[in-house]
């Protein structure tokens, strides 16, 4: 059994991760660290959970002795302080190591993830955006990329702010970080392409959709583009290439990314739609997918 610990277990992503790991047939929960909730029951914070698990606050030394792997579901800036002290394997769900560690997008880096000591889980927007782009990375037909992202309010976390305020989001769409979103750096590094990106938050809780506008350098057909994508993802367990336009209902509560649309307009602009559950494929279930690879399990273990 894999002994797994979570630091930051009481946040939205930490809770989703805990639920997945608790049901995973090859995992035993070693710790559910929450600095502010240690000793409290999980169901005290999340009433929908009916078990008796409690939050812990184990020291780094205790974690090193008790666990085989630790998931850092912490705020940005915290993980880079904790990681050097850990002697066990790490999956960091924050943004701290995405430009320096093995990038945990299994559809791209499966071999590297298997042997990594530290894996940086991709950002939620970056996951959907990169999966919509990667098949064209080697085809030399892309001039420029503009991505419009829309996410549920869970992406803004639990701490109250303008992007998760029920009052502000009611009958509304809120744009933010118009040209400087933190996920752009990892999108550009991993894709090797220049990308412009603007995110928006909506009032629904979970699910993220990217509309990717790709300006092509030469004429091609919808069918040829779709063929490239189907070939690239033919062995990808959690990518669905669709003829229809994906919606959030295609992916909510799953580890799948649905990719479709594939329309080209008169200006040689290719439009691709990608959809994921931001809390799962965009965070917690993708982390479990990476853990499975790191410990020699089937990629799908505990996720289907």
Q: Which residues are catalytic?
A: 124
3-state DSSP call for residue 79? Answer: helix
118-122 own/partner pairs: CB under 8 Å, 24+ apart = 118/83, 118/89, 118/90, 118/91, 118/92, 119/89, 119/90, 119/91, 119/92, 119/290, 119/294, 120/92, 120/96, 121/91, 121/92, 121/93, 121/283, 121/286, 121/287, 121/290, 122/98, 122/186, 122/282, 122/286
Q: What is the DSSP string of 180-247?
A: T-THHHHHHHHH-S-EEEEEEE-SSSS-EEEEEEEEESS---HHHHHHHHHHHTTT-TTEEE-SSPP-
Distance CA 202, CA 298 (A): 35
Strands 142-151 and 239-241, bridge-based pairing: unpaired
Q: Is the dihedral of CA 34, 184, 103, 131 positive or negative?
A: positive
Number of Cβ atoms within 10 Å of the Cβ of 38:
15
Q: Could you tell me the CA-to-CA distances from 130 to 5, 14, 258 in Å, in that order?
A: 28, 24, 12
Q: Could you tell me the CA-to-CA distances from 230 to 118, 132, 224, 289, 299 in Å, in that order?
A: 30, 12, 10, 21, 20
């Amino acid at each position: 059994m894999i002994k797994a610990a979570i630091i930051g277990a009481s946040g939205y992503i930490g809770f989703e991760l805990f639920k997945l790991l608790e049901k995973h047939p090859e995992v035993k929960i070693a710790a559910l660290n929450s600095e502010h909730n240690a000793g409290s029951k999980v169901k005290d914070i999340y009433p929908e959970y009916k078990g008796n698990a409690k939050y812990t606050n184990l020291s780094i030394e205790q974690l090193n002795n008790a666990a085989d792997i630790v998931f850092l579901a912490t705020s940005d800036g915290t993980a880079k302080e904790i990681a050097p002290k850990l002697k066990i394997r790490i999956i960091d769900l924050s943004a701290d190591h995405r430009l320096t560690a093995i990038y945990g997008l299994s559809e791209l880096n499966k071999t590297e993830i298997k042997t990594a000591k530290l894996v940086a889980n991709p950002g939620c927007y970056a996951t959907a955006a990169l999966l919509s782009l990667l098949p064209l990375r080697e085809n030399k037909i892309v001039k420029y990329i503009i991505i419009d992202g829309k996410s549920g309010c869970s992406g803004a976390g639990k701490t109250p702010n303008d992007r998760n305020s029920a009052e502000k989001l009611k009958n509304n769409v809120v744009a933010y970080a118009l040209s400087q979103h933190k996920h752009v750096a990892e999108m550009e590094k991993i894709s090797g392409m220049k990308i412009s990106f603007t995110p928006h938050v909506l009032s629904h809780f979970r699910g993220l959709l990217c509309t990717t506008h790709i300006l092509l350098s030469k004429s091609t057909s919808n069918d040829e583009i779709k063929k490239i994508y189907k070939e690239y993802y033919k062995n990808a367990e959690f990518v669905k290439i669709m003829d229809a336009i994906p919606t959030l209902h295609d992916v909510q509560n799953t580890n799948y990314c649905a990719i479709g649309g594939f329309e080209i307009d008169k200006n040689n602009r290719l439009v691709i739609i990608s959809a994921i559950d931001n809390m799962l494929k965009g965070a917690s279930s993708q982390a479990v997918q990476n853990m499975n690879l790191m410990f020699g399990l089937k990629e799908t273990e505990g996720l289907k």
